[in-house]
Chain A
Amino acid sequence: MFSQRFLKIWVGGAILSLLIVCGVAAPLLAPRDPQAQTLEDRLRPPRWLESGSQAYLLGTDNLGRDMLSRIIYGSRISLMVGVATVLFAGLVGCTLGAVAGYFGSTADEVVSKVSEIFLAFPFLLIAIAIMAFLGQGVGNLIMALMLSRWVQYCRVVRGEVLSLKERDFVTAAKALGGRDFYVLFRHVVPNTFASVTVIATFGMAIVIITEASLSFLGLGVPAHIPTWGSMLSEGRSYINRAPWLTIFPGMAIFITVFGINLLGDGLRDVFDPKLRRQR
C-alpha cells in the first residue's frame, strides 16, 4: 500500500490534510488572534533569531500581529477559495461540457464558442477584470475565479463525452430504453471522473496561487482578513528590514501548491490507462 506507486499521493495527501486541519481547527491551533495588533511588538523577528521574542514563534508583522496565527488563519481563505472554486467551476464546467458533447449541434456550438471566448484571455486577466468590477470580498473572489476556471473542465469533459458516446455500452443503454439525460449522467459522465479529478487537483493549486496573486494586487479579500497573498504584499515593503514577513507566507504557498501538485501527479499516474498498462 505504501508502494512507490502511491508515494506521491501519500505525501501530497498528507500536505493537503495538514492544510485542511489548519483551516478547520485554526481557532484551536493559532496561539493568538490573527488580527490583534500589538504596536509595541511590531516587526519582532522569529523566536530563534537574536532579539526574537518567546511569545511569537514566527515573529510579528508591521502592525505587531502574530505571524504564525496569521499563516494558520490564512490557510482558511486559501482552502475555502480553492475548494469552493474547484467545486463550482467543476460543476458548471462538467455539466456544460457533458451536455455540449452528448447532444452536439446547437448546444455544442454555443458552449464551444463561449468557452473559446473565455480561453482567448489569460485567466488571471479575466479574474482581475471581474474583481475590479465586483469589488473585494471572499464571495466575489470565488465567483471571479470560478468564471475564469470553468472552461478547463468544460473542454475536457466535452472531449471525453464525444468519444464515450460512440462506445457500445452507451448504445446498449440507449437500446434498453434509457433516456438521454439518464444515459448521460448515469453512464457517460461517471466515466470522465478520472480526468476531472486530475484537473481538479491541479486546478486547485492554480486557484490558490491566483487567489494569492489577486490578494497581492489588493483585489482579493478586504485588508483586515489575513491571507497569504496579502501578507506577501504587505511584507514586501519591509523585505530589507524584516524578511520573515515575506518568507513565511511565501513558504506556505509553496508547500501547499507543491503538495497539491504532487497529489494531482500521483492521481494521474494511477488513472492514466497507458501508464497502468506498462506495469
Chain B
Amino acid sequence: MATKKVGVSRREFLKKSSAFAIGAAAWPQFLRSAHGASRDRVTIFHSSVADSIHPYNHSSSPIYGQWQHVIEPLFEYDFKRKDYIGVLAESWQFQGNKWVFKLRKGIKFHDGTPFTSKDVAFSVERMRDEKGGSLQAPNFKDIVEIQTPDDQTVIFVTKQPNAILLDRLDNRLIVSKAAGDKYGDKLYENLVGTGPYKFVSYQRGGHLVFTRNDDYWGPKAAIKEVIFKKVTEDAARLAALESGQADFINNVPDHEVPRLKKHPRIRIDQLEGTRMFFLAMNFAFKPWDNKLVRQAANYSVDAPAIVRNIFDGIGYPCNGPVGANVLGADPKLKRYPYDPQKAKQLLAQAGYPNGCDIQLYYSAGRYPKDREVCQVVAAQMVKGGFRVELISQEWALFWDKQGVNGGRLPFYYIGRGGLIDADTLYDQYFRTGTTRRTNYSNPDLDKLVEEQQKTPESKKRIALLQQAGKYIMDEALFIPLYNLADIYGTAKNLDWKTRPDERVMARDMRIK
C-alpha cells in the first residue's frame, strides 16, 4: 500500500535544522564584526556634556574639549612636552605687565571671514560677561586692558606682572566677531569658529552634533560626524558600548576593566588623570569656620582606603593639598592620617562633645562611583563623631549659582579637572574673591598666592606655592582625596590618543 508523504522528510528536517543551528551559532560572531566605529560617524557617550548652548557657561575640562571641536584656543597644553603649544597663536612673550601674542596668519572662520586680533578681544569680552551667563570671568580679573595694535597682534595688559596668565588663558576659546555682530544674542545658536568641526545642533539634556570642516587650516580630521550624548549612568554607557550603540565612552567602572580587556570588540585605555578629587568646606557655614572641626574632618576621612576598596586600587591618594605630579607639590607634606579617635577629641575640644551634624552634597553620576564614595566618606566620618546627611543634586543645580558657584553648599564632593599647576586650585578655592566656592578669605594666603603669580622665576614660584600648600594643610582648609585613573572604552577599530585632561576630541581619532 502506498503511503502519502506528509510535511517534511527526516533528511530535509535535519538539513534545515543544522543550517539554522550553524546560522544561530555564527550570528553573534557576525554581529561582532558588523559593528565598529565608522569614518562617517563616531558616537561618544560621555558622563558630562555641555549643559547649555552657551560655550562659556561652564568651566569644566571635558566640556572645553567638546566646544574645542568648533571654536579654538590661542594655545593648548602639550602633556608630552609639558609646555604650551600654539593653536591660533603662533608665539607669545612675557614683557613685564604685558603678554604679547602673535596670531597665526591665513586662518579663516567657518563663514569665510579671516581670523584676527579683533575676534580675540571680542571673545574675551564675551567670556568676561558674567551677566550674559559666562562662568569663566574670574580668569580675567588681573587683566586691565586688551590691545589689538594690528590684526595679528593681541596684547593683554595686567595690573602687575602676571606669571600664570597662560594658565588662565588656556581653554579660552575664540568665536567670530563678525558672527557676533550679525547674530547678536543668537550668536551661540549659530556658533562660528575656526575649528576642525562645524557646529550642527545642540539639544537640551546634552546632545551635541558636529560635522567636519573640510576647509580646516590644520590637518583635516578623519571622522566626518561626531555626536556627543550625555549619559550619566556608568552601566548605561557601558551597555551602549558593548551593544555598539556608542563607539566611545568615558569613566568605565574600574571593576569592569578585567572583563572588558578580554572583549573582542572593545579596547580599554587608562592613564593617571589630572582631575583631583576633594571635599570642599564653605567657610560661610558653621561648623566649617572652626579649624578644630576641619582638622577633625581631615582625621576622619581615609582616602587610601577609598582608593583601595572602591576603585580596586586604581587611583593615587594625595599626600598634600595637590597630587605629586602637580607643579608646586611639596614632597615633604603629609596628609592627615586616618584617626577617628583623634577626630572625636578635636570635635569635643571644638565644642561638639556629642558629635556634629553636617550635610554632604554631591552630584550622583558626575564622577566615577561618586555615590559610593560619598557613602563611604559618610560612614568614615560617623566614626569620627560626625552625623552626615547625604544630599545628591542634579549637576546643573549643584554647580551653578544656586550651588557651589553661588557659595550655597556647606560641604561637597568635587573634582578639579586639568589640574597641572597648584596655583589654579589655590586661586579658585582659597583666594579672597576669585570664586565663592568656599568663601575663604585670609590676607596672608592671598599675599602668598599673589606673590607667586607675579614671580616669573620657576624655582622661586614653586617655593611660594609650597609655602601656600603648607598653610592650607595646617589650617585644614579642605580634605584632599585622590587623583583617579581616567578609563576610556572604545570600539577596537577606533584609534585614539588618551589625554590626561579629560578632553575627548574627534580630531585625535582615526579608524583602523
Contacts and interface: CB of A to CB of B under 8 A. Distances in A.
Interface of A: 35-37, 39-40, 42, 62-64, 136, 218, 222-224, 234, 236-241
Contact of B375 (A218, A223, A237, A241): A223
B235 A222 contact: no
Nearest to A39: B309
Interface in B193-247: 233-235, 238
What are the nearest 4 A-B pairs in CB distance? A39-B309, A237-B235, A236-B235, A237-B234
Contacts of A35: 379
B378 A136 contact: no
A136 B392 contact: yes
A108 B348 CA distance: 62
B376 interface: yes
B251 to A, nearest CB: 11
A37 B374 contact: no
10 contacts: A36-B379, A37-B375, A39-B308, A39-B376, A62-B310, A63-B375, A222-B389, A223-B375, A239-B235, A241-B256
Contacts of B233: 236-237
A219 to B, nearest CB: 10
A42 B375 CA distance: 14
B360 to A, nearest CB: 10
Main secondary structure of the interface of A (DSSP, over half): loop
B305 interface: yes
Contacts of B238: 237
Interface of B: 233-235, 238, 253, 255-256, 259, 305, 308-310, 364, 371-372, 374-376, 378-379, 389-392
A222 B391 CA distance: 7
A222 B390 contact: yes
B392 A37 contact: no
Contact of A240 (B256, B305, B371, B390): B256
B259 A241 contact: yes
B259 A63 contact: no
B374 to A, nearest CB: 7
Nearest to A236: B235
A165 to B, nearest CB: 49
Q: Identify which of B234, B255, B310, B390 gathers the most chain A CB atoms within 10 Å of its CB.
A: B255
Contacts, number: 52
A16 to B, nearest CB: 31
Contacts of B391: 136, 222
A236 B279 CA distance: 26
Contacts of B392: 136, 218, 223
A238 B376 contact: no
A37 B382 CA distance: 11
B165 to A, nearest CB: 41
A63 B305 CA distance: 12
Chain B CB within 10 Å, residue with most, of A35, A39, A64, A222: A39
A37 B376 contact: yes
Contacts of A234: 371-372
A241 B255 CA distance: 8
Contacts of B235: 236-237, 239
A40 B309 contact: yes
B309 A240 contact: no
Contacts of A222: 389-391
A223 B253 contact: no
Between A64, A218, A224, A237, the greatest number of chain B beta carbons within 10 A of the residue's beta carbon is seen for A237
A236 B372 CA distance: 13
B255 A39 contact: no
Given A218-B392, A237-B233, 11 more contacts: A39-B305, A39-B309, A218-B364, A223-B364, A223-B390, A223-B392, A224-B375, A234-B372, A237-B235, A240-B256, A240-B259
Nearest to A35: B379
A62 B372 contact: yes
B394 to A, nearest CB: 8
Nearest to A235: B235
B230 to A, nearest CB: 16
A179 B259 CA distance: 74
Contact of A42 (B256, B259, B309, B364): B309
A149 B214 CA distance: 56
A222 B376 CA distance: 14
A63 B391 CA distance: 18
B389 to A, nearest CB: 7
A223 B363 CA distance: 12
B256 A63 contact: no
Contacts of A224: 375, 378, 390
Contacts of B308: 39
Nearest to B364: A218
Interface centre among A40, A224, A238, A241 (most CB of B within 10 A): A224
A22 B243 CA distance: 40
Which of B233, B234, B238, B379 has the largest count of A CB atoms less than 10 A from its CB? Answer: B379
A136 B310 CA distance: 25
Contacts of A241: 255-256, 259
Contacts of A136: 391-392
B390 A63 contact: no
A204 to B, nearest CB: 28
A211 B392 CA distance: 18
A40 B302 CA distance: 14
Nearest to B260: A240
A218 B366 CA distance: 13
B477 to A, nearest CB: 27
A238 B255 contact: yes
Contacts of B255: 238, 241
Given A63-B372, A223-B374, A37 B259 contact: no
Contacts of B259: 240-241
B337 to A, nearest CB: 17
